[in-house]
Structure formats: C-alpha cells, structure tokens
Amino acid sequence: MGDGRHRAEPAAAVALASGIQDGVRKLPPGGPGREAVSEVEHFLLGPGGWVPNNARLPVLLYRAAISPADGDPARAFESRFEANGWPPQWRNGVYPFHHYHSTAHEVLGFAAGSARLQLGGPNGRTVRVQAGDAVLLPAGTGHCNLGSSADFLVIGAYPAGQDWDTRRDAPDPAELERMQALPVPDQDPVQGRAGASARLWHPA
C-alpha cells in the first residue's frame, strides 16, 4: 500500500499479475477454532513482467469475512487483525497504479463500498470485492484499483515485525531472494490459527 507504517493509501482496489499457475479453488466455510466465512478462494500467480508476484504462496480471497451490518465494519476488521497478530496500519483505499510490497505480506479488509481490483500486474487477474470481503496478499503480489465506489474503505494490516515498502519496479536477484525468504505468520489474519493460511501457506 504505502511506503511506511501508519500511512494511508489513496482509494483504489487490489491487483495481481499474469501467469496464473493454479485456477481459483474454494475452501468450505467455517471450521473448528476459526472465524466462519462464506468461502475462501485461493490461487497462485506467477511473474507478471516487472511484478514478481509469489509463486510459492497463494492469494487468499475471503468472501463475507464479516457482516457489514454488524456495527462498525472498519473497527471489526481492525480488531480481528489485531487479535490474530496482524496489527492494522491504516484506513483508506488502494493505489490506482500497479505496485507491490517486497518486505511484508499484506491483508486488506474491505469495510465499505465496492471495487474492481487487478491482482498480479497490468496483465493480471481482475476481482470484484465488496464490504465484508478481505484479501491476503503474499509479498510480491501486484495490486491496483481499477475503479471503486465513492464510499470504498479499506483496512490495511501487516504481520507484527514486518515493515512494508511500496515498489513499482522489478526486484533484483538479491531482493527477490529476501522476499521469498520472508517469514510466514503462524496465524491467518482473518480466521486465526486454524484458518486458511495455516493450511495453504504452511503445507504439511
């Protein structure tokens, strides 16, 4: 999103690059020890031009992660992320240009409105998101807002101890190696310790 902690990102939506290596797959909702959601879509993205993406960790798209009708959705996302070890850093939107983060994984909670995001770079996958949804982007995943409603509001959070940058250029080999070695958090930011990332980012 931004280039430092506690900074907001201008309204937009999320993007990921080309080179999809796996079709969209869905996990069943609910389950012991985690917050229930309607479904979790997941897919891998290969390199998309200058956007590295992450060929090892899939993007996770949580549909109806929270109910927009339940009080304050923005605060609900912030509380959920904080409780799961992903401190929220900002409230705003998503940049309207392609970019990625090389030094941190990122979760976006969509608290209000709707948007069309492109994930993976200029030739990447387009997704539509609405209030209550969330998306988990592994480091290197390109994202961009292609258009959003006037009330589009996003909560951005990152794993404790990971400081985020904003990149609009290709990483060099050393940077790519560091990005691929970035630690994977134990807890899913949306569903907790037994959530989707525990299964998909920590294969048995």
Q: What is the mean pLDDT of the chain?
A: 85
pLDDT digits (tens, 9 = 90+) for 7-51: 433 333 333 233 333 455 555 444 433 344 458 999 999 999 999
pLDDT of residue 38: 53
**Considering its fold, how many domains does the chain have in total?**
1
Q: What's the rounded mean pLDDT across residues 143-165?
A: 97
Placement of tokens 């609405």 in the chain: 130
Task: Confirm whether 4 is domain-assigned.
Answer: no
> Over 70: is that where the pLDDT of 60 sits?
yes
Task: Confirm whether 20 is domain-assigned.
Answer: no
Please enumerate in sequence order all residues whose Cβ is within 8 A of that of 16, keeping only pairs 6 or more positions apart, or say none: 45, 48, 53, 59, 118, 119, 120, 121, 124, 125, 137, 141, 142, 143
pTM attached to this predicted model = 0.83
Task: Confirm whether 2 is domain-assigned.
Answer: no
Q: How far is Cα 39 from Cα 68, in angstroms, rounded to an integer?
A: 16
CATH of the domain at 155: 2.60.120.10
Instruction: Look at phi and psi of residue 193 and say left if phi exceeds 0, alpha if psi is from -120 to 50, else beta.
Output: alpha
Task: Confirm whether 154 is domain-assigned.
Answer: yes
Task: Confirm whether 12 is domain-assigned.
Answer: no
Burial status of residue 61 (CB atoms within 10 A of its CB: 0-12, 13-18, 19 or more): buried
> Over 50: is that where the pLDDT of 166 sits?
yes
pLDDT digits (tens, 9 = 90+) for 114-124: 999 999 999 99
pLDDT of residue 9: 39
181: domain range?
25-192
